[in-house]
Structure 1
Amino acid sequence: MPTDLVRSAGSRSALSDPILYLLLFSVLAAPAALGAVDAWVWSTQALLAGIALATWAAHVALGHPPTVALRRLAVPASLFTAALAWASLQASGWSPAAWHHPLWPMAAETLGTTGIGAVSLAPTDTSDAILRLCGYAAVFYLAVNLCRDRRRARLVLAAVAVMVTLYAAYGIAAHLSGAERILWMAKTSYHGDLTATFVNRNTFGAFAGLGFLCLVGLLCDGLGRTARGVSATIERRRLMAEFMAGRGALLLGAMFVVGTAILLTHSRAVLACTLAGSIVLLLALGLSGALSLRRTLAAVAAGAALLGVAFLAGDGTGTGDRLLQVGDHAETRMEIYRRTADAIADSPWLGTGLGTFAHGFRLYRSQAVAAPFTEAHDTYLETVMELGLPAGLALILAVASLPALCVLGLIRRRRGLAFPAVGLAASTLVGLHAIVDYSIQNPAVAALYALIMGAACAQCWSSRVDTGR
């Protein structure tokens, strides 16, 4: 039996689908509880992902080889492990006393004790951040192994698209009702903005943007599969018209709902990043040959028209007003960036401890920053401040290597190109948004991104390649 058929048969083993369903539930149900920001939600999400991973590990131990060997992910795995190892040392207190944060000696003197201290300013927060990262890594690794089967990869994108559309539909209904509530709770912020089940409009916008990209990817994948192998132009057009009248219409309707929800968040950055991701997705398919240049331009035009209709139908004036407020909070943001850079300069190699920005920034906050910011609104700066330059760059590069893998997939594959294109687009969205906000630090957004990237990266190798070796 050919090697690829043996691998494919293994990937369809009895436990694979239940593990995937548990994984999907852990990622897609958590956002219903305020965007998974509470510790009990994201820790439960991490626990379920851990159970799924342990089940998969037992499955492999019983003689079913992994469909993607770790060596295939050597670069991101090595960089991620190095960053996590340093974060663990930061929290452990086993480091030399000279490495400990300067506040620890002061605390020891005040308490009249010795032998306490760590690199991390708040070891418990660092441990929590490590647990969250491990949960995201489990989601990604499971998705990579389970989605080598294209049917499952398509199922993941479809599940994400359906659930994000439902969250968006709820958000629109709640927003139009004027109740200013999240589920049964009164809003404490972002009045007049759509947040759905999230507290923050920007994090929900990024969450919805990822779902929007999945919808675009499914639409392109469906059109490509419908026309594949049909040489007659008239017949190809007929089949594509049938698709657009059926499943295509459903996808367009869902795109309209999700696009309207994004507009009603009134988030300028999310809107711009979602548009950038959509353009990258379409261009990736056009340049890779999955779509003709004419179809690519037509799809861009159709998307722009759909966005325009959604803008007019969805009270777009709030977003339009904000688009004109370019200087809104700009000076405060710049001051935060400057102060964060000062913190990095004071401890460039050791950092303040993963997950400790809120504590560390208090020492650098100036009078120009009135509110006690708990995030830097720039994930790259915040990561380097917390982990130090070496480990911070390692973590950033670990994530950045995933869209690089998607680019390789677009170059070397001939079928299923929509999946790596969605991965590249999703990375564009979160990568750009991380420059000006912290949506990727939200557990619901981070887990969803890990799931999408796992499915996308799984389809970056040809089905003829035995990735289990």
Structure 2
Amino acid sequence: MASLERFSFYSLLLLIIWLPIPLGSNRDWAWAIAEIWIALQSILLILAYRGNLPSEPIKRYKCLLFGLAFFQVWVLFQALPLPWDMLSFFSQKSADIYQLVGAPTGFISLDSRMTLTSLFKGVAYTLFVLNAIFLVNSSQRLKQVVLAIVISGTFQAFYAAMVVLLDMTESPVFGFTEKGIATGSFVYKNHLANYLMMTLCMGLGLIVAQLHTSPSDSRFVFIKRLLEGILSRKMYIRLCLIIMVIALVMTRSRMGNTAFFAATAIGGIIALIFYKNKPRALTALVGSVIAIDTIVVGALFGLDKVKQRLVETSLGAESRDQVVIWSLDIIRDFPFTGTGMASFYTIFPMYSKADIGFYDHAHNDYVQFLVEAGIPATLLLGFVVLYAFWRAFSTIRTRHSKTMKGIALGCIMSIIGMLIHISVDFNLQPMANALTFILILFLANASAVLPAMGELVSPSAQNDTKEVAHV
């Protein structure tokens, strides 16, 4: 059964690369493919373990796994038909709305079918984490997962940049109109920018994991390390980062570029202060990413246009801030239960006070989750994210493994970037972005609990040690 387990792991790697390809998996047919993929992978995993999944690995990730699972239980409750007395107890406003239209039964959700759709996606997210817990059981596999993320980001970046540089007017596959702005296989440029921000941060972490921590005692050793670095796979990853930075700038996403810059700067400062046995080249690496990649490369490929968009940003010309302000009234009316996951586009027109166009999302994921899930459930997810951040932070402070500390630093930067970017956009709505971010939360936890290179936590993977390629 070891071969079946290995097949499941490689299926996981392929899924990571596949997710952004079909329009960011942000269409019903696209996320259905991912859901079926994850379900089949779960079945293979059960067969690989002969139905006897050990409980010890689950205990190490209980905050992430149970946090996601409890949230799905709440989403299920939102979509269940409830007696009027019970519905009035939990959400008087929902009961009033359903009774006003003469509905035979009522739900907490004001769009129960879309909430069920969201539930299926949420169950897939939870199963994905469960699969990762059993499949990513060594430091070698951990690095392979991060490498898969970087490969996926590089492919997206290269494709997006070539479409712009070749002046294509339509996307090659789906025929969407191209306007000289990088979107990759996504439909919305900010979703690509958010995805590249995460993959860039994880690529940085992968490079940090390969930096030397001991000083160069002589000029000969310094030159030798320099040549080894130039000829090593580390330079391939560095080239991937440059390609992704080019595409990120070409998206002209204001907050996408700002989030990456801020995440790199803040993460770099955290590393310089708290990193245990920090590599001597860490400062140079962070400085080069900010100076060379963001400024020099960005200037060649359109950073001035991003700056122009930032300068021209005006609250008077933007209607997104009005959406956020009016959404606060929804939170006030549905503070504990929310209106049901994926119901924003249904409920928002009731609270809109002017004709500002159609908004199916709040363009602020904090507000949208508060609207749809309610305050308690949103705080639960917030705790899951902050706990993952803390575990990654503890890893860079206390662990000796270069691999674990480097990956943890990448996770810290990714989490910081995501928390910044979702304040002005809906980047957790496409499955590609959401599942990649959940994977990063898993990696943050894994960097704290998995043993260092060469050690395995699962007996089922012992036969796999010699066959796993080192990054």
SS at match of 2:186: coil
Equivalent of 2:102, from 108, 117, 120? 108
In the alignment, which residue of structure 1 is the partner of 2:282? 296
**CA distances 1:165-214 after superposition (whole Å, capped 9, x unpaired):** 111111111112222322333435x7231101111000001111112112
One-letter amino acid of the counterpart of residue 255, structure 2: A
1:445 to 433, 444, 461: 433
426, 449, 454: which one aligns with 1:461: 449
Shift of 1:229: 9.7
TM-score, length-scaled by structure 2: 0.87
> Which residue in the other structure is 1:90 paired with?
78
Give the structure 1 partner of residue 23 of structure 2: 34
SS at match of 1:459: helix
Residue range with higher mean Cα deviation, 241-250 or 174-183: 241-250
In structure 2, do the counterparts of structure 1 residues 74 and 330 end up closer, same or farther at CA, with 3 Å as the change threshold? farther
Equivalent in the alignment of 1:6:
none
1:45 to 11, 34, 38: 34
For residues 52 and 285 of structure 1, do their structure 2 counterparts lie closer, same or farther at Cα, with a shift above 3 Å needed? farther
Matching residue's letter, 1:308? I
Deviations 1:384-423 (A, max 9, x none): 1111111222223223322222122223311021111111
Distance 1:201 1:384, change over 3 A: same
2:242 is the alignment partner of 1:242: no
Shifted more, 273-282 versus 207-216: the winner is 273-282
Change (3 A) 1:329 1:418: farther
Residue matched to 1:135: 124
SS at match of 1:440: coil
Partners in 1 of 2:165 and 2:216 — Cα distance? 46
For residue 142 of structure 1, report the CA deviation from its aligned partner: 2.4
Shift in CA distance, 413/233, structure 1 to aligned 2, threshold 3 Å? farther
Aligned length: 447
Of 223, 237, 242 in structure 2, the residue corresponding to residue 256 of structure 1 is: 242
> Does 1:210 pair with 2:204?
no
Q: CA RMSD in A?
A: 2.6
- The match for 2:169 is 180
* Structure 2 residues without counterparts, runs of 5 or longer: 460-471
Question: Is 1:319 aligned with 2:268?
Answer: no
Distance 1:178 1:429 in 2: 30
Q: For residues 144-293 of structure 1, what are the structure 2 equivalents within 5 Å?
A: 144-188=133-177, 191-224=179-212, 234-235=220-221, 237-286=223-272, 287-292=274-279
Deviates more, 1:348-357 or 1:449-458: 449-458
What is the CA–CA distance in structure 1 between the aligned matches of 2:111 and 2:306, rounded to whole Å? 38
Q: Distance in 1 between matches of 2:352 and 2:361?
A: 12
Structure 1 letter corresponding to 2:153:
V
Kindly tell me: are residues 217 and 354 of structure 1, through their superposed partners in 2, closer, same or farther at Cα, counting changes over 3 Å?
Answer: same
1:345 aligns with 2:332: yes
For structure 1, which segment, 249-258 or 134-143, has the greater mean C-alpha deviation from structure 2 after superposition?
Answer: 134-143
Distance 1:375 1:356, change over 3 A: same
Residue identity matched to 1:198 = F
**Do the aligned partners of residues 330 and 151 (structure 1) sit closer, same or farther apart at CA in structure 2, a change above 3 Å counting?**
farther
- Aligned counterpart for 1:308 among listed residues 288, 295, 299: 295
Question: What residue identity is the alignment partner of 2:439?
Answer: L
Quote the Cα distance in structure 1 between the aligned partners of 2:23 and 2:116: 22
Relative distance call for 1:79 and 1:33 in structure 2 (3 A) is closer
Checking the alignment, whether the CA contact within 8 Å between 2:396 and 2:409 is kept in structure 1 is yes
Shift of 1:247: 2.2
Q: Percent identity?
A: 19
Matched-pair contact (CA < 8 Å) for 1:90–1:118:
yes
User: What is the CA-CA distance between 1:234 and the residue it aligns to?
Assistant: 4.1
Q: Give the counterpart of 2:109 among 108, 120, 134.
A: 120
Q: Is the 8 A contact 1:409 1:459 kept in 2?
A: yes
Label 1:232 to 1:145 Cα distance change in 2 as closer, same or farther (>3 A).
Answer: farther
| Mapped contact 1:223–1:240 kept (Cα < 8 A) | no
Could you tell me how far 1:215 is from its partner in structure 2? 1.8
Q: Per-residue deviation at 1:31?
A: 1.5
* Aligned partners of 1:101 and 1:352 also within 8 Å: no
Counterpart of 1:9 in structure 2 is: none
> Residues 430 and 370 of structure 1: is their aligned pair in 2 closer, same or farther, counting only changes over 3 Å?
same
- The structure-2 alpha-carbon separation of the partners of 1:351 and 1:30, relative to structure 1 and needing over 3 Å to count, comes to same
The separation in 2 between residues aligned to 1:313 and 1:223, in whole angstroms, is 28
* 1-structure distance, mates of 2:229, 2:5: 30
